[in-house]
Structures are given as C-alpha cells and as structure tokens.
Amino acid sequence: MNILWVFAHPEPRSLNGTLRDAALTELRAHGHTVEQSDLYAMQWNPVVTPQDYAHDRARRFRVAAASIAALAAGTQAPDIAAEQQKLLRADAVVLHFPLWWYSMPAIMKGWVDRVFVEGFGYGIRAADGSTRRYGDGVLGGKRAMVVLSMGGSEHTVSPRGISGSLDELLYPIQHGILFYTGMSVLPPVLVASADRMTETGYAAAESELLQRVKGLPTDEPIPYRSQNGGDYDRRFVLRENIEANEIGVRIHTQR
C-alpha cells in the first residue's frame, strides 16, 4: 500500500514523534510505501487566503467558488496541489495528532481547510447531478485511521466518561471529514495518559500502534451508514423505522 501519514506535533522528540517514527519503520519493513506530511516541520500555512486560488482581490472573495475555479484551472497554490496529489496517490491516510481542546491542532484543521477544497473534498457531483458524500467521493476506496494522544485517562472517553465516548468525540473528524470524502474509516488508536507515560506504558502503546498499522489493509472499518445506501430519506434524515427510539451521532453507525 501507499500510505500518507499526516502528522501534527511541534516536537519530533515527543511521545507522538517517537511513536510516529516506530510506525513508519514498521510499515516500510512490511513493504509499504510511506509519504509523510509533517505539518510543523513543513511550516504549513493553515490560513485560507485569496492567494491560495490566484483570486482577483478586486472581486469579493467567495471561498468555495474561488477554490473550485482554481482547482479546475490548475491555479491553486503549489502547496495545496502537492498535498492533494499525495492524497490521490494514497491507499490509506493516517491523521496523527495530540488531542488539544477536544479536537485536532489548528495546523491540521488548516491542512483540511486548504486541501479539501470544493471539487476535491466536497461538492462532488454524480452523473445524475446528485452530491457524492458520506461514503462516496473523490477519495472513495481509500482507508483512513486516526492516531491520537491525550493527557486524560482512557476511562474519561468511555461511553459514560465525563468527556463523552471517543467515537462521539472524534465523529466530526472520522465521519464529517474522512467518511464524508469517501474513505473507509478504521477504529482510532488512542494513546491515553500521555503526560504520565511510563516505560511500560510506552511499550504497550507502541505495540498496539504497530499491530494496528499492520492491519491497515485488512481491519474492518467503522460501519457508518452511507448517504446513498437507503437508510436516509430524501432530506438525508434517518428513516423512522431505523433506530426509532434512539438519537445522537451513534445512530449513523450500523450496529
């Protein structure tokens, strides 16, 4: 497989940096090709600007319209185009980051904002004019996985934990970005209690990560309901006969 590892941590000698290095070594040892976007090392610009799309500043800047026009004309900023090509080459995409304020670091969110433009990440049309998303899209057929660390204990992101369940916490990323663009999303890898990591704890965390990256080609993805699989009505609301007495994000996963 060709794997794109998108990494967001400012310190390469950190726990995350060390785990990343171990995972990339493991993948290459098993014959995979790895491309990396180390966002801090790249000094990635996370801010969307008119210059991203060679936009004429005499006209109002409408981000979606400007981005799709630049994509079609080949006038996107070179750094955006390069990341899109990495994504197109990839069979699997790993987003690796520390959990900061219940989400990815701003630099990684800015990577998504600038790279997943209209016509590439969203706004994709099928032959009949319908929108391709949630299980369909340009990135369909690819696999994706989130690897994250957090300072809190694992039980705080359990179904009854104070922070909410991990699946719900990561729903905007796993379902709203990765699955939305067509990718099959594998269950995440969580490295908890990162600020209190012991040597024994690190060995266990590394072992789990290495096992999970070995399973990138074969592990079963999260069974999210596809937009066009028949579970949703024409308003994209889950049909009344499915999970009739349930609400919340978990109803969008088949159980």
d(CA 110, CA 115): 8
Contact 139, 181 (CB under 8 A): yes
User: CA angle at residue 169 from 168 to 173, to 5 degrees?
Assistant: 95
Backbone angles phi, psi at 218, to 5 degrees: -125, -20
Q: How does pLDDT run across 118-166, given as a tens digit for each residue? A: 999 999 998 888 899 999 999 999 999 999 999 999 999 999 999 999 9
- In angstroms, what is the C-alpha Rg of the chain? 19
Contact 253, 222 (CB under 8 A): yes
Backbone angles phi, psi at 132, to 5 degrees: -95, 115
Three-class DSSP category at 43: coil
The confidence score (pLDDT) of residue 255 equals 82
d(CA 235, CA 232): 7
User: DSSP per residue over 150-208, as a string?
Assistant: -SS-GGGGSTTSTT--HHHHTHHHIIIIIITTT-EEPPPEEE-SGGG--HHHHHHHHHH
Mean pLDDT, range 56-71, rounded to an integer: 95
d(CA 162, CA 211): 29
d(CA 163, CA 152): 9
Q: How does pLDDT run across 69-98, given as a tens digit for each residue? A: 999 999 999 999 999 999 999 999 999 999
Q: What's the whole-model pTM score?
A: 0.96
Mean pLDDT, range 215-227, rounded to an integer: 96
